Amino acid sequence: MRVVRLASEIDFDGWRRAARRLRAEGAAPETVIWTVERDLFEAAPAEAPAPIAGAFTVPPAFVELARSVVLHRSGERFALLYRLLWRLEREPRLIDNPADPDVARARDMAKAVGRAIHKMHAFVRFRLVQSDPETYAAWFEPAHRVTEAAAPFFARRFTSMNWTIMTPDACVAWDGQTLQVSEGADPADAPSEDAQEELWRTYYASIFNPARLNEKMMRQEMPKRYWRNLPEARLIPQLIETAQERAAAMVAASPSPPPDRVLKAAMRQARDGSYNGDVPTSLDQVAAAVQVCRRCDLWRDATQGVPGQGAAHAPLMFVGEQPGDQEDLAGLPFVGPAGQVFDEALAAAGVPRGKTYVTNAVKHFKHEPRGKRRIHKTPDRGEVTACRWWLDAERRLVRPRVIVALGATAAHAVTGKATLIGANRGRALQLPDQAQAVVTYHPSFLLRLPDADARERARAEFVKDLRLAGELAKLID
């Protein structure tokens, strides 16, 4: 048996050197034992590169996969990767076969690592530990060894702040210039609660929208294993318990009436449903006028019109298809299940929703009754065209640099023509008003995908598109 001793639990370079040598020597996977014996931060002795006889090229996808798998906590990861490498010479298309048990296992590990990085980005909470200079620290327990892989995100996000993130595997510190890595810490070293915690809990409670609550999805996205390190976690059980009651109160409450001056202007414009009167000069006027819009018949079965919401001069605008059932009741865009997916994807992409404007191509909910439920129906071209008057008004008033069309209906409304999502997503399209458009999936598309792998891939693509839009709009670096 051959025993390979690696320098650390995440020693990808050491594994690669050893694997290349073993493969060249013809060492079968079952004859190799992989182990980690040195300290995490002890430098491995330099090794002179050995000549590789009969070397072969592996696909870049395998190297990328291996870099992620090495961060998994499974003790079989190094052996699994070597087994895949051993097979690649005779099966060069092996990585493209998701049905292969080894490939499937490696992909599952890589996905778990990706989720762990995402959770770390989302759930690290800094606490003030020193006032002069102002320094922050956080304790986190990642599901896999992703501390170093996740650290550059925090360096970009909190560039001007001195901070340390402590985990059982490793600690990373940022001094405004460089990232430094040191050995892991003990839970006893975790920073204690600071004065900002109560402010954070107050903020979290105020932004928690009971109409958006999907408890199953929330627990999936925010597993309880992370709650002990989240200051807002102590509020979650009570917020869940009272969500249904609070949502019912929101629905029962009368909407805030617009100012009389705005409402009268809207009513003047509603003559014969043609809106040939004065063009709205503010988003308040648009919101009021949507309530009396008769440009198509969708108003007849809807509870209310749902105008856009967000920053008045946002550099980034999102356009969906139409309000859903919960949006129709609440009078706000993207507050239902699709809205929750949208919010989570925005957070993963690093795009602050508060600095964006969110609206729909059609402002009234089109549906058909099915028992006690109201089932969504896609607006037809005439309805989209009739409602484009309002979308154009919002675009003219907000003047965004970038408009993201969520789904095919929104893409048609934004570009004025049929625009295929698959053929156009992932790049910027120039619009006549000098804004740029990005087309991507509607969040409800992700909810409808039955296959978990397909849903994960689509979600990653969706987050990537949102990040592209945020970068184009200069909302993120």
Tokens for 351, please give them: 């795009």
Let me know whether 206 and 337 are in one domain. no
As a whole number of angstroms, the distance between CA 407 and CA 472 comes to 19
- Residue 194 within any structural domain of the chain: no
List pLDDT tens digits, range 26-66: 999 999 999 997 544 444 444 444 444 445 688 999 999 99
Res. 450: pLDDT tops 70: yes
Least confident of 23-32, 103-112, 243-252, 273-282: 273-282
- Distance (Å, rounded) from C-alpha 443 to C-alpha 212? 14
pLDDT in tens, 60-102: 999 999 999 999 999 999 999 999 999 998 998 999 998 999 9
Least confident of 193-197, 219-223, 323-327, 446-450: 193-197
Q: Is the bond into 133 cis (omega within 30 degrees of 0)?
A: yes
Look at residue 272 in the predicted model and tell me its pLDDT.
42
CA distance 78 to 387: 57
Residue 64 vs residue 236, higher pLDDT: 64
Interval 260-307: pLDDT, tens: 665 666 555 554 444 444 567 889 888 888 888 888 889 888 999 999
In a domain, 154, yes or no: yes
- Number of structural domains (the chain) is 5
User: Looking at the domain assignment, is residue 445 inside a domain?
Assistant: yes
Phi-psi region of 371 (alpha: psi -120 to 50; beta: other; left: phi over 0): left
Structural domain includes residue 134:
yes
* DSSP conformation letters of 56-106: -PPPHHHHHHHHHHTTS--TTHHHHHHHHHHHHTT-TTGGG-TTSHHHHHH
CA distances from 307 to 274, 288, 317, 432 (A): 18, 9, 13, 24
Please check whether residues 114 and 128 belong to one and the same domain: no
Supply the range of the domain harboring residue 384. Answer: 311-472
Same domain, 315 and 461: yes
Q: Distance (Å, rounded) from C-alpha 106 to C-alpha 129?
A: 40
Residue 128 is assigned to a structural domain of this protein: yes
Final residue of a structural domain among 119, 136, 160: 119
Q: How far is CA 12 from the centre of its chain?
A: 28
pLDDT at 392 over 80: yes
Clarify whether residues 318 and 463 are in a common domain.
Answer: yes
Are 321 and 435 part of one and the same domain?
Answer: yes
Q: State whether 69 and 150 are in the same domain.
A: no
- Pair 342, 367: CB distance under 8 Å: no
Record the tokens describing residue 49, joined without a space. Answer: 């590169």
Main-chain phi, psi angles of 88, to 5 degrees:
-65, -30
**Span 311-327, average pLDDT:** 94
Domain holding 331: CATH number? 3.40.470.10
Where a domain ends, among 67, 99, 119?
119
Mean pLDDT for 112-130 is: 91
Q: What percent of the chain has pLDDT over 90?
A: 55
Q: What is the pLDDT of residues 167-184, one digit of tens each?
A: 999 999 999 899 999 999
Does the reported pTM lie above 0.75? no
Distance CA 250, CA 180 (A): 49
Is residue 208 one of the residues assigned to a domain? Answer: yes
Q: Which are the contacts of 368, defined by CB distance < 8 A and separation ≥ 6? A: 374, 375, 377
Q: If you write DSSP's letter for every residue of 411-475 in order, what string do you get?
A: HHHHHSS---HHHHTTS-EE-TTS-EEEEE--HHHHHH---HHHHHHHHHHHHHHHHHHHHHTTS
Provide mean pLDDT across the span 218-244.
81
* pLDDT recorded at residue 154: 93
375 lies in a domain? yes
Residues 19 and 140 in one domain: no
Examine the domain organization and report whether 113 and 135 are in the same domain: no
Q: 246 falls in which pLDDT band (50, 70, 90)?
A: confident
In 3D space, the residue among 319, 344, 346, 315 whose CA is nearest the CA of residue 333 turns out to be 319
- List C-alpha distances in Å: 35 to 11, 77, 106, 410, 445: 11, 11, 19, 54, 44
Q: What is the spatial distance between Cα 228 and Cα 216, in angstroms, rounded to a whole number?
A: 19
The residue with greater pLDDT, 278 or 373, is 373
pLDDT at 149: 95
Q: Among the three residues 246, 264, 294, which one is the final residue of a domain in this structure?
A: 294
Give residue 23's identity as a one-letter amino acid code. Answer: R
What is the SS3 assignment for 222?
A: coil
- As a whole number of angstroms, the distance between CA 89 and CA 175 comes to 46
55 plus 182 within the same structural domain: no
Are 287 and 333 within one domain?
Answer: no
Name residues whose C-beta falls within 8 Å of residue 210's C-beta, 6 or more positions apart in sequence: 239, 242, 243, 244, 246, 247, 250
The answer to the question of residue 249 being in a domain is: no
The alpha-carbon radius of gyration of the chain (Å, integer) is 27
pLDDT at 427: 92
DSSP SS3 for 282: coil
Q: Looking at the predicted structure, is the pLDDT value of residue 21 above 50? A: yes
| pLDDT above 50 for 345 | yes
Q: Tell me the C-alpha distance between 51 and 61, whole Å.
A: 24
Of 335, 327, 321, nearest to 306 by C-alpha is 327
Question: Within the chain, what is the greatest distance between any pair of CA atoms?
Answer: 88
Residues 379 and 446 in one domain: yes
Query: What are the distances in angstroms from CA 270 to CA 262, 267, 383, 465?
Result: 12, 5, 17, 38
Are residue 167 and residue 290 in the same domain, yes or no? no
Q: To the nearest whole number, what is the mean pLDDT of the chain?
A: 86
Residue 75: its pLDDT value, please? 94
